[in-house]
Amino acid sequence: MRNFDVLEKNLNLQFKNKDLLIQAFCHRSYLNENPDFRLGNNERLEFLGDAVLELVVTEDIFKNYPKESEGTMTSWRSALVNAKMLSEIASRLNFNDFLLLSKGESKESGKARQYILANTFEAFIGALYLDQGYNACQDFIRKHLIVKLPEIIKKGLFKDAKSRFQEVAQEREGITPSYRVLKEWGPDHAKVFVVGVFLGEELVAKGRGSSKQEAQEEAAQKAFQVKGWH
């Protein structure tokens, strides 16, 4: 079993109910291999934490940016609470070291691990809420997550990669990017698309996803790297 005292020390927190903290890190796959484990999985805590997280972020943006429109505030909130951002914060807080996973899930990396970490972050917020209340969650979320908002605003990271790549491509090369499906396969309920992003006739990068939109977004992200644009 992981030593969760170390995590508490690192986070400068002390849970009254240690089981809540442990359960926040318990993935359903762990229970498949350890059916006698005394706690449940973290999915109910994740459900609660998701709501607390959204309220804290919404309240903070609403109070601190009184002149912004609903649309802008929604974009900023989405940039803060998406899986990529939450998994980055969870990694930085060393949540990886405390995950309770099956042997198979332990070997997963990339997007699969990203989603597990993001869900664990939400479950942790749910556990913290039950253990110490709303104000403790507010302090934690402000310290570790909302602190990222000024950078997100300054760099335009609240826009999706496709929108940002179009802006930069038009600014630098005077060309509007176009997207074409290069390959697709699989049954209707589980299709895979490979999409290319082009500047004129130049194929800049390819992206893959379970929808054309997802593949386009990945292609745009990779195009930034290929072009060395930031």
- Whether 146 and 167 map to the same domain: the answer is no
Largest CA distance in the chain: 62
Choose, from 46, 50, 105, 131, the residue flagged as catalytic: 50
Same domain, 114 and 10: yes
In this structure, the answer to whether residues 181 and 120 fall within a common structural domain is: no
What confidence score (pLDDT) does residue 1 get? 67
Q: Domain check: are 114 and 165 in the same one? A: no
Residues 70 and 9 in one domain: yes
80-102 in b/e form (b: 16+ CB < 10 A) is bbebebbbbbbeebebeebbbbb
My answer on whether 11 and 70 are in the same domain is yes
Domain interval for residue 213: 161-227
Domain boundary among the residues 155, 183, 216 is at: 155
> Which tokens in the block code for residue 103?
């042997």
Domain stop point among 121, 155, 189: 155
- Please confirm, yes or no, whether 50 is among the known catalytic residues: yes
In this structure, the answer to whether residues 79 and 27 fall within a common structural domain is yes
pLDDT of residue 105: 81
Same domain, 110 and 177: no
In this structure, are 84 and 198 located in the same domain? no
What is the number of other CB atoms lying within 10 angstroms of the CB of residue 164?
18
Q: Say yes or no: 123 and 101 in one domain.
A: yes
CATH number at 213 reads: 3.30.160.20
Residues 148 and 176 in one domain: no
Query: If residue 144 lies in a helix (H) or strand (E), which one and from where to where?
Result: helix 134-144
CATH at residue 13: 1.10.1520.10
Q: Which of these is catalytic: 105, 122, 131, 217?
A: 122
**Does 84 lie in the same domain as 194?**
no
* Secondary structure of residue 209 in the 3-state scheme: strand
How many separate domains does the chain show?
A: 2
Mean pLDDT by 10 residues, the chain (230 residues): 90 96 95 92 96 96 94 87 91 94 80 88 98 97 95 83 85 92 89 94 92 89 87
pLDDT of residue 160: 78
